[in-house]
Structure 1
Amino acid sequence: HKIDWSLLGNDQNRALYEFYKGLINLRKNNHALYTENIEFFHENAEAKVLAYTRWNDEGSRVVVVANFSDNFLAGYHIPNFPEAGKWHEWTRDYDIEVGEDGLMIDLGEYEAQVLVWQ
């Protein structure tokens, strides 16, 4: 089957295409995602939140925080975050400062956020 590229004329289709294009670019350019290193460092069965990190030995690191519930979680706290300091939230494109006491983040319903170490 051929891909109907004219469908990209629809704004919603174009946005989804650009999102996946960006994910592929993130994968290609972030060497933490080249390794098999993975650590699940936060699991909250009650809130249905999971966080894991991927990294390499050169200092590249990515964290994924996922909310598997239908609840908006305002100011959700994730202790024991892998690294304090400046991170970039990739899906919404903003920088966030993580303190020594962990990450405070707003998580939408069924949302995953991707944080890249700066």
Structure 2
Amino acid sequence: MTLASRACAQLATWPDLRQAVPSCGQGQAVVSAKGEIVHFHSDRDVDLRLTDRAIRRFARDLKRSGVIRIVPGSPWVTLRLDAASDVDLLLTLVSVALQAQQFPPDTVDRPLMGCNDQRGAGFVKVDRGALW
């Protein structure tokens, strides 16, 4: 079982979440009643919709993690699942994403234009502590 399939299976057991076809058409999505939260694009690459407000709040920690790529202007972040601890981080961030959906949209929030996979930006990972 890959890290992505393990994470997807765990999220499928959470109340109020279900698996679906992602709007980008690639991979598997996890959605709540308020919309898409996670897109699993491969065995390792996952896009997570946090909202602009949540990204601004946690930007320093997200960048420091070494497994998260922030795309300017996107309410989605991309995680690279290389270890079991990355799955734990993803599950924690899904909780943050669910909480972020409870707030009214931020005036800075941009319209949902698709996940980062549609932006065509790939990972260029130098080392565990580097940013993409």
Query: TM over 0.5: same fold?
Result: no
More strand by share: 1
More helix by share: 2
Asked which structure has the greater CA Rg, the reply is 1
Higher relative contact order (Cα pairs below 8 Å, separated by 6+ residues): 2
Output the TM-score relative to the length of structure 2: 0.27
Output the TM-score relative to the length of structure 1: 0.29
